C-alpha cells in the first residue's frame, strides 16, 4: 500500500467512524429533503433512456459525404458499436471508418437530460481537437431525433456554422443519421450515415 492509499484510507475512516457512532443518520430539513428528491428524480433513467437503449449493438455503416452539393458524394464504409453506459443514462457510440483515404475514428454520446427536458448529442473524433455539442427533441410521428448546434469552421477562420442533425429510426435493425450545414443562409445536406445492425 503506497502513501496515497494510506492517506485515503485514513480520510475515509475519519469520516466513517463518527457517522458509525451515531444511533441515527443526521436529520435533513424539509428543504434538504426536497433538494435530494429533485436530484434523485434528475438522475433516474426513464422512458427516453430506454428508447435510446434500443440502438445498442454492433452496426455496419454506409458513409456518404458531400463536399459540394452539386458534385458526386464520397461513399465509404465503417462500423459502429453502441452501448448504454452509467446505469442506463447515456448511449455511447464508438465509430471506425475512413476519411479521405485515412483511418478515422470517433466517439459520440446521445442522451436525455431530465432537468432540461432536451436530448443532447456530443461528438469527438480523430479529425478534430474540438467537441461538437448539440441539443434537440424527439418527434414520435417520424421516429426522429432532431438536434441543433454549431461548429467552428477551420477553413473559414473559425466562423460558426449552424448545424442540424437528424437521427431517424427506421426499425430495430436500421437507422439513418443526416447532417445539414447552413452557409450563406442556405441549408445543405453534407453527410448521411446508414446503419444496419450486424447479424
User: What CATH number corresponds to the domain at position 138?
Assistant: 2.40.128.20
- Which residue segment(s) compose the domain that 183 sits in? 47-197
Does one domain contain both 61 and 25?
no
- CA 24, 28, 34, 36 torsion-angle sign: negative
Q: What is residue 75's predicted lDDT score, i.e. its pLDDT?
A: 94
Prediction pTM value: 0.82
At 105-142, the pLDDT tens digits run: 999 999 999 999 999 999 999 999 999 999 999 999 99
Q: What is residue 22's predicted lDDT score, i.e. its pLDDT?
A: 56
At 26-51, the pLDDT tens digits run: 788 888 889 999 999 999 999 999 99
- Binned at pLDDT 50, 70 and 90, residue 8 comes out as very low
Tell me the C-alpha distance between 72 and 93, whole Å.
Answer: 28
CA separation (Å) from 62 to 84, 95, 150? 23, 12, 24
Tell me the C-alpha distance between 144 and 170, whole Å.
Answer: 9
Does one domain contain both 25 and 81?
no
At 146-164, the pLDDT tens digits run: 999 999 999 999 999 999 9
**For the chain, how many structural domains are there in total?**
2
At 73-83, the pLDDT tens digits run: 999 999 999 99
Does one domain contain both 131 and 193?
yes
Amino acid at each position: 500500500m503506497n502513501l496515497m492509499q494510506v492517506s485515503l484510507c485514513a480520510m475515509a475512516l475519519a469520516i466513517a467512524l463518527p457517522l458509525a457512532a451515531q444511533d441515527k443518520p443526521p436529520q435533513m430539513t424539509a428543504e434538504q429533503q426536497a433538494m435530494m428528491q429533485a436530484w434523485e428524480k434528475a438522475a433516474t433513467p426513464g422512458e427516453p433512456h430506454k428508447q435510446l437503449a434500443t440502438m445498442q449493438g454492433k452496426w455496419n455503416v454506409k458513409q456518404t459525404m458531400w463536399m459540394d452539393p452539386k458534385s458526386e458524394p464520397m461513399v465509404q464504409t465503417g462500423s459502429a458499436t453502441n452501448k448504454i453506459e452509467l446505469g442506463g443514462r447515456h448511449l455511447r457510440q464508438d465509430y471506425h471508418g475512413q476519411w479521405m483515404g485515412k483511418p478515422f475514428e470517433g466517439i459520440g454520446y446521445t442522451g436525455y437530460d431530465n432537468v432540461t427536458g432536451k436530448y443532447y448529442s456530443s461528438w469527438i473524433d480523430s479529425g478534430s481537437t474540438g467537441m461538437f455539442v448539440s441539443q434537440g427533441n424527439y418527434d414520435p410521428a417520424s421516429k426522429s431525433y432532431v438536434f441543433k448546434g454549431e461548429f467552428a469552421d477551420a477553413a473559414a477562420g473559425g466562423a460558426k456554422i449552424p448545424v442540424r442533425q437528424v437521427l431517424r429510426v427506421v426499425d430495430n435493425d436500421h437507422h439513418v443519421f443526416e447532417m445539414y450545414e447552413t452557409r450563406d443562409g442556405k441549408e445543405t445536406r453534407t453527410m448521411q450515415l446508414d446503419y444496419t445492425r450486424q447479424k
